[in-house]
């Protein structure tokens, strides 16, 4: 099988290494994550009997960062044909190469662990945020549908929760101005698409 992949020439030596452990250093935006993900996907497909165990200091970032990066690499490399080569189950964070059954393994504690920014020991997102289903619903109505707080409360959300969420949005509004351009994935862009001025 021939796979045409754009690799960063700055990482050529690392990409051709067959050593058991590889340590990479680079600043944010250096491309090391993209390159590493693509390299591991290729190695998993070429070397029977090889699995990839993903471990991070802040293990909750395995879901949002590591899994997403590896999945993105598969999508970039194979496009719509990815299902011929890879089985991906996002909810259980399973990736398995269909050619040789090699797997990308995300530890069970990452999958089962309550969401946390890990700002302090035993901190959980739910300590300071509403239930995510409720939070998502309120944010969707407020940010994407331009509903007023009163309309959101009439839709069935608790008044205290609606007021708290909207206050948090307003209090953190300055953070959007600090962000680089971001891909639009909903009806409203994170920057100019929102109703508050950038």
DSSP symbols for 86-123: EEEETTTTEEEETTT--EEE--HHHHHSPP---SSTT-
Residue 41, C-beta contacts closer than 8 angstroms, at least 6 positions apart:
70, 73, 74, 77
- CA distances 116 to 5, 120, 122, 127, Å, are 34, 9, 9, 9
- Give the pairing of strands 52-53 and 103-105: parallel
Mean pLDDT of the chain: 79
Percent helix, strand, coil in the chain, to 5, is 45, 5, 45
47 pLDDT exceeds 50? Answer: yes
Element (H or E) spanning 16, and its range?
Answer: none
Residue 114, C-beta contacts closer than 8 angstroms, at least 6 positions apart:
124, 125, 126
Query: Residue 154 — very low, low, confident or very high, per pLDDT cuts 50/70/90?
Result: very high
Q: Average pLDDT, stretch 116-140?
A: 78
Within 10 A of 35 (CB to CB), how many other CB atoms are there?
Answer: 23
Within 10 A of 4 (CB to CB), how many other CB atoms are there?
Answer: 5
Within 10 A of 91 (CB to CB), how many other CB atoms are there?
Answer: 6
* Whole-number pLDDT of residue 158: 93
Query: Residue 86 — very low, low, confident or very high, per pLDDT cuts 50/70/90?
Result: very high
Phi, psi of 141, rounded to the nearest 5 degrees: -65, -40
pTM listed for this prediction: 0.55
Phi, psi of 96, rounded to the nearest 5 degrees: -135, 130
* Whole-number pLDDT of residue 8: 76
3 pLDDT exceeds 60? Answer: yes
* Whole-number pLDDT of residue 183: 61
* Whole-number pLDDT of residue 197: 43
- Sign of the CA dihedral running 158, 163, 168, 174: positive
- The residue assigned the tokens 């998993």 is 44
Confirm if 8 and 34 have CB atoms less than 8 A apart.
Answer: yes
């Amino acid at each position: 099988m021939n796979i045409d992949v754009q690799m960063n020439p700055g990482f050529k030596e690392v990409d051709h290494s067959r050593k058991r452990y590889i340590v990479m250093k680079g600043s944010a935006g250096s491309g090391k994550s993209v390159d590493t993900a693509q390299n591991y996907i290729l190695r998993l497909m070429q070397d029977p009997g090889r699995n990839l165990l993903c471990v991070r200091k802040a293990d909750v970032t395995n879901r949002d960062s590591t899994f997403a990066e590896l999945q993105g690499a598969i999508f970039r490399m194979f496009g719509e044909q990815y299902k011929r080569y890879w089985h991906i189950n996002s909810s259980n964070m399973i990736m398995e190469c269909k050619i040789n059954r090699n797997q990308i393994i995300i530890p069970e504690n990452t999958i089962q662990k309550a969401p946390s920014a890990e700002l302090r020991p035993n901190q959980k997102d739910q300590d300071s945020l509403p239930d995510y289903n409720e939070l998502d619903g309120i944010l969707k109505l407020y940010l994407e549908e331009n509903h007023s707080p009163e309309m959101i409360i009439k839709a069935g959300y608790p008044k205290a929760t609606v007021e708290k969420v909207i206050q948090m949005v307003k209090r953190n509004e300055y953070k959007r101005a600090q962000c680089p351009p971001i891909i639009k994935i909903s009806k409203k862009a994170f920057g100019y698409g929102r109703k508050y001025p950038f």
